[in-house]
Amino acid sequence: MRCILKAMRILLPLLLVSVLGSSHAPPLKPVRWTLANGTGPRSVVSGRVVEVTLQAEIEKGWYIYSLTQKPGGPIPLRIQLVGAADVGVRGAIKAPKPVTKFDPNFGIETELHRGKPKFTFAVGVPAGSLTGKRDLQIAARYQACSETLCLPPRTEKIGLTLRITSAR
C-alpha cells in the first residue's frame, strides 16, 4: 500500500501539470531565486574565492527539500555553477538548518526549507586564470511541495558575473 501511495504522490502531480498545462493557466511557480546583495558583478582576484549567497523566496504554504535530504523520497536541492571550466564552487554550501518532518507519503523523514532561506558558498578562481569578465549561471535544482501537491523537479538558472583581476 505504501508503494502505491508513493507512486500516486509522484505521478498525480505530473498528470495534473500535464492536464493543467494544456489550458492557458500559467504554471505554478511557488519559488523565486535571487542573488543576495544584487546582481552586479562580483570582483575576485585570480587564485582566490568570492562568497556568493543565493536566496529562495518560497510562497506561503510551500516548501523545498534540503541539500542533505536523504535518498528514497523527494528530490533534494542541488546547487551547481555552470558556464566556465576554470571557475567552481569550493567547499561546502552553507544552508540554514532544515525543518525535519515525517512524510507519510514517502514513508521517511524529510528535511524542508520554508520562507526565505539563504545558501552561501565560495566561488573559486584558480591562480593563473585569465583576467576579465565571466558570465556564469548558478543552477538550482529543486522540488517544491505543499501539503497537498508536489510539483515536478525543476532547474532555475540565475546569472552571475565575475570580474577576475590579477594578483598584484
Q: Which residue has the cell 501539470?
A: 17
For strands 154-165 and 42-45, give the pairing: parallel
Q: What is the CATH number of the domain that holds 146?
A: 2.60.40.1250
Q: What is the number of domains present in the chain? A: 1
Do 98 and 112 form a contact (C-beta atoms < 8 A)?
Answer: yes
Enclosing domain of residue 64:
2-165
Q: How far is residue 113's CA from residue 144's CA, in Å, rounded to a whole number?
A: 10
Please give the chain's pLDDT, 168 residues, in tens: 554 445 445 544 444 444 444 445 667 899 999 999 777 789 999 999 999 999 999 999 999 999 999 998 999 999 999 987 889 999 999 999 999 999 887 889 999 999 999 999 999 999 988 899 999 999 999 999 999 899 999 999 999 999 999 876
**Chain mean position to CA 106:** 21
**Of 98, 95, 93, which is closest to residue 109 (Cα–Cα)?**
98
